[in-house]
Every structure is written in structure tokens, then in C-alpha cells.
Structure 1
Amino acid sequence: MTVGDLMQMMAAIRFEHRWLAEEFVAESLRLGEQERGKEHHYVPRMYLKRWAVDKKVQPVLVDRRQVSPPQRPKEVAKKTNLYSLPAPDSTMDQPLRWIEKHLSRIEDECADRLDQLACLEHGVVLDDELKRDMSVFLGLQVTRTVSNRERSLLLINGPIGAKREFYRRMGVSEAAFDTMLANTYTDPKVEAINLMFADVRYTVAGSLYRREWAVYRTSEPIVTCDDPVVFVAGPPGARDVTVGALFSAAVLYPISPEHLLVMLRPDLRHNEPYLLNQAETRSANHEIVAAAASTAFERPGDDIAVHLEVPVRAQAAELDDDQVAQLDDVTALRLLLDRVTPRSRWAGVPDAPGWPVPRWYTG
């Protein structure tokens, strides 16, 4: 594959949308100059408000099965200076304020889109413009989480030899890899943000848009979590498999305590009824809780997440620079691929539950 071939391939799969256009980004840059906030939300406040009672949501720490006191949406799912980079001649991190402004501008419009989805009379989503808008919004939600940012930084900071071998296995030529390397931002935090938008443009948004969308009502309340776009690999895959936006049988996104957006792979089809019974709703809730990085969210009083037991999420031990320097490329490649791939909580669990809602995978 030549550099020209690579560029043509990327242009062919690029998802065009005004929220990803240079003009929209430029306006966010201008507006972001006035922003001073340092608390950056990786799950939008307008989204979590949909689970609020008396203006508060109920966080549940999944690994501990611990219910925290109800909190306002602005107080949860946030991280100080998540979108940040070192200022010139300074050791202090400064906010990349335009990123938060950019995301908030999209969120303002998508609040109405979520209401439209919840008000559908028919389960199947046919509104093309709505699907395009939500595909970008959900793509940015996938790429903006703390866990995804950490995986991106691991990939960016990985040994060059290991990355070269990774891309060689993908069919990228030496020349194309060298070009990619030359165009990489030297600051890894800036490159992580660059990758965030690139992933949406070239992979996630288009993959979501091409799916078969439907909204299901739930017979019991549905929960959400701090990584709310949930990828379900589905059969015949094993329960520990994670395959992401391209190949997952179903992608789940709770849109309210009574509604679940389900995006099926293009070869699958939705079948009525567009109502999940109690067992189906419970299985969907179990999947959402298992997808959480650390926290599930529900309405105060629903008391659902704490009763859904899932394995503790495994934490990989961090290697220091000296340890990384001693790795050969084969070992470094294996570690790199393992750590930049989202891990299922069900890996190695012999009594893992079946895939949720079996009727989604019948084609």
C-alpha cells in the first residue's frame, strides 16, 4: 500500500458532517478563548439529567457495588483538565478550552435529538438527518471517555518498532508508516485529541450510521454508565470478545430511563415488539453495568445497578520507561495490542451470562 493508496482509502471512508468540518472547529476555537472552566465532563450533563430526580442522579460504584449519595449531573463523570496540554515554557497543564466548547455546542443540539428519539411512535429510526447527527455525537462520546483517552496515549507513546510492526500487519507500507509518523503531533496529549476526531471521522461515525436503528421501550427502568455507548459482540463470539464499532452485532445507548437505542449490524434486522420484557430489560441493564469503567448511573430510588453483579474490571500494571526500553519489539507489540483494546469484564469468567436479548441476532 502506497501513501497515495492510504490517502484515497481514508478519503473514501471519511464521514462528512458539519460538526467535524474545519469551519465548525474554527468557530469552537474562537468561542473557546472565553472559556475558563477546568472541569471537563466525559459524559454530557444534559444526558445525565435525563436520569435526574429532584435534579440529582444516583451513582453506583460498580466494582464495589456501592451506592454513592445522589449528586447533580455537573458533579459526576468529569475530570480536571481532561483536554489539556502543557503551555509553552511551563510545567503546568492548561485546558484546551475549545474542545469543551466544541463538544458543548454539539450537545446543545443533540438534547433535542434525544427527545425526538424518545418520542418515536414507531421503533425503527428512519430520519436520515437525525441518524447522521447522532452518529457524530455518539462517535465523540465513544472517543472522549477517560479510558479511551488512556488507551490512545498508550498507543501514541508505544515503542516505534512495535507500532511499525502493528501497521505492517494491517498492510500499511513502510513509506506510509513513515509519513504517518512524520505527521504525528509531538505532544502526545494533542495527538490524542487529534486521534479522537480522526476515529470519529474514519471509523466510528460511519459504522454507527450504517447500522439498523430502533428505539425500544423498556418494561422496567434502564440504567446508564460512564461509558454509555455499549458494544455487544454477540454470537457466535465468546463472552470475553470485544470487537468495537465495525463488527459488534449490537450497539446499545440508553436515551432515558424508559428508552434504549439499539443499533444492529447491517446484516441484522429489528423485529417487533419494540418493547423489552422484564427479562430482556434486565439483561440489557446487566450489559450496561458491565460496560462501565467505574460508575453506573440511575434515578434515585430505582435501586437496579447495585443488584447486578459483574466481575471487577482488571487493571493492567503500568510499566515505567526503563522497563519499556528493555522490551523487544515482539513483546512490546503484544503488550501494546492488549492494552489499547477495550477489555471485557467477562474475560475468563466461566459462568458469564449469555448475550442480552437473543432476538437481536437472528438476522
Structure 2
Amino acid sequence: MVENYCLLNKLFYRKAGKNQQGFTLVELMISLVLGLLISAAVVQIYIANVKAVTLQDAGSTIIDSNVFGIPILEEHIRLANLGLADTINDTNQGAGIVLTQAGNLKDIKLSGNTDVPLTLLTNTGDVTPVGTDNEWTGMTATDTVSGQLTIQFRAPQNMYDCEGNLALGPREVNINKVKKIIDGQIIIERYYLNAQDTTKPNQLSLYCDAGKYITEDMDDYTEQGKANKPATVLAAKNRIKNFGDKGEVVIQNMDYFDILLGTKEGNDIQYYTTAEYAGLTDKPDIISVKTGGIIRSDNVVQTSELTDSFLVLGNTVSLKSDATDAEKKYLRFVFQNEIALRNARQKYS
């Protein structure tokens, strides 16, 4: 019995040994090829997912700028000229689009009793910039100089300017020892491109620098403001306070910004740069502002389907020739909007 069991056991292991001989070379090569194909498919799926995620993230930052940043810009531009001049041109005192010191800001000075330089006023990219520091220098991440828009309006009520500082609306003051209501403080704002990090001159954002002034005579100028809100307290009339500094970011990551001035001539709307408008003999009143620019994403995208040339306000604008490979990999979006100046009253003959 024992001998039969041992014999059967030997036969079983002998057969098992013959069956377990491992993979052949062909089988091994087929396994490797299949493994490589599966790995390649997984890598391709991963790369596609990375591209999709980075593209979605890039798109979301641009959408944020369109949803939050640009409407703020448009809202303030619509206020231009509120409570000020009858019409808007470069000679009318108090005009809501500030083009000249002698005309639009006649008798108005900076807090140091100095004239407001051209580099703090409205300029388009065809004007040669001569500003320094935080003045308009035409900064751009493209081959085309960026412009600057400067507007002014009276605060219709207590409100905040684009830097987040309080401005006062109509209020009671003493004039010749009599209590009288005066109009709101005049807010002046300029929108231009600047770099958040000076070591990265091609990474720009849209800034707004805001100041305020008053034009009324009164017994005590300090009483027209709120002592607990220093930004509202002005020392004298016709002196702009807090204007000409860097300001605050309104829209992140903007490569290029410019404007056109809209006028109505007969039944047609004509658009001019500031240089073109200044060269006109008969200057029509400005009734709208067309803004345009290039917004970029906050992160690079992993795709080759990107362009470095864009059409903005009728002009072809390209990235700078010295743009790095990384700077060329941002997702970019062109925006163009026309804002009617509802506070610009047209003169009719």
C-alpha cells in the first residue's frame, strides 16, 4: 500500500515538472509589447487630462476677469461726467474724459500746487509716453504701446472709488456762516497697466489710481469731510488729493490695454485716438469710450494651439519678441466693449 502511494506521488511530481517550464521568448515579447501599449495608452490619457485641467483652470481665471473685473471698469466709466460739464471735449472745463490740463482741469492742481502732467491724463498708444515711476509709461507685454483712460465725476452719494477709498456725496457745510448743501466730491480715476513685480515687466495688470477734489468756497474746508475717514478730508478747493500714485489692481494679468473716443458726426459714430482727436480742427463732443485689451490666464496651458497675434480695436497686436517660452504658453482672450457716456449731453442745432 505504501509502495503504491509513493509510486503515484513520484509520477505526479514528474508530470508537474514537465508542465511547469515557464514563458517562452515569444510569450515574453508579446507580454512586453502589450504592457508597453497599455502604458502608452495610460500616459496619453494622463497627458490629455493634464491639458484639459490646465485649460479649464486658465479659462476660469479669464472668466473671473470678465465677470468681476471688466464690469467694475465699465460701471465707473459710465459715471464719467456725472454732475460736471454740459458736454465732453478737450476744452470744456470739468469734462468727464480728462484729456487736457488747461481745458478739462482748468485751475485744478495736484496737492503740491503743481499742474497735472499729461502722463496722468487720457492717452492712447499712438502718443509717445514720457512718464516715470507710477505715471503712464505705455507699459505693455506686446509690440504695441498701451494707453491710459482718465475720467472724473461727482459722487452722487457716499461711495467708494476704484481704490476702495470713501468719497462723500452731497453734504451740509458753512458758507459765509450759513449752512448750505454742496454737491458731492469730484472723483478722478485713471486706468493704466503696471507691473506688480518690477522684476517681471511683461507680467502686467490693469491698475486704477484715484484721487478727489472739490471746487466750492466754504468757511472751513476740513468740515466738508469726515474726520474719522482721512481720505475724505480735503485741505483746500481745486487741489487733487492722493492722485498720481500706483493705485490698486482692478483686473489681474492684462497684457495690453487701450481706448478709442467715440463721437457722433451726423448720423455716424466716428472713433479717434487721443492724438487724432487733438489734431482735429472742429472737435465733436465725445459720447462714448471703446475699451479693448488682452487678458491672459494665471497659469500656463499644455497645448500647442495658442496664438501670439491678436486683433484689438482694429489693430493687430503681437506679443513682444523677447517673450519667453513660458510667457507664450498662457491662454489669452481679447475683450472689446463700447461704453456709452450717458452723462454726456449732446448739443443739437
Say which one has the larger Rg: 2
Q: TM-score, normalised by structure 2?
A: 0.22
Q: Which has the higher helix share?
A: 1
Q: Which has the higher strand share?
A: 2
Q: Which structure is richer in relative contact order (CA contacts within 8 A, separation 6 or more)?
A: 1
